[in-house]
Amino acid sequence: MADTLVKVDIHLIFHVKTTSVKIDKQDLERFHQYLGGTIRGLGSIPLAVGGMSDHVHILASLPKVIALSDFVRMIKSESSKWIKHLNELYRSFAWQEGYGAFSVSPSLSEKTVNYILHQEEHHQKRSFREEYKLFLNAYGIDYNELFSFCD
């Protein structure tokens, strides 16, 4: 083939360290906007960015020139640096090392966007741990609870 054409949409989920300060509700929208800009800067298209004070959900098209692990590392690194400069309150902010990455077919993109943008409603019914376990089980991912939910 003469050209490389790629369309891989990924639903990313990552959580702040349990010892970290959480993101204040008043800063969440601005933080999510920053994440979107970071994603665009990496050559990706952010389809949705949302979450709660302790975790983030992102639906983005994976850039064809960046490995998934590098993509996530750069998003987490840049967002962590940014929020630490936003307010002294966030000086100790840190993400957990791991993340979840789940492929999303084009037929489920709209449903996933809706899910991401309505996180507050979802978390009135279930905790982050319950939510994340549903994703892991739905995708058939084996995991060890002793290591999947700790820093």
pLDDT > 80? residue 1: no
The whole-number pLDDT of residue 145 equals: 80
The whole-number pLDDT of residue 58 equals: 98
Rounded to whole angstroms, what are the CA distances from 85 to 56, 79, 88, 92, 118? 19, 10, 7, 11, 27
Q: Which of 72-76, 109-113, 130-134 has the lowest mean pLDDT?
A: 130-134
**Token pair in block for residue 90:** 């966030």
Owner of token pair 């008043």: 26
The whole-number pLDDT of residue 6 equals: 87
What contacts 120, CB < 8 A, 6 or more positions away?
52
Q: What is the mean pLDDT of residues 68-85?
A: 97
Owner of token pair 């906007």: 33
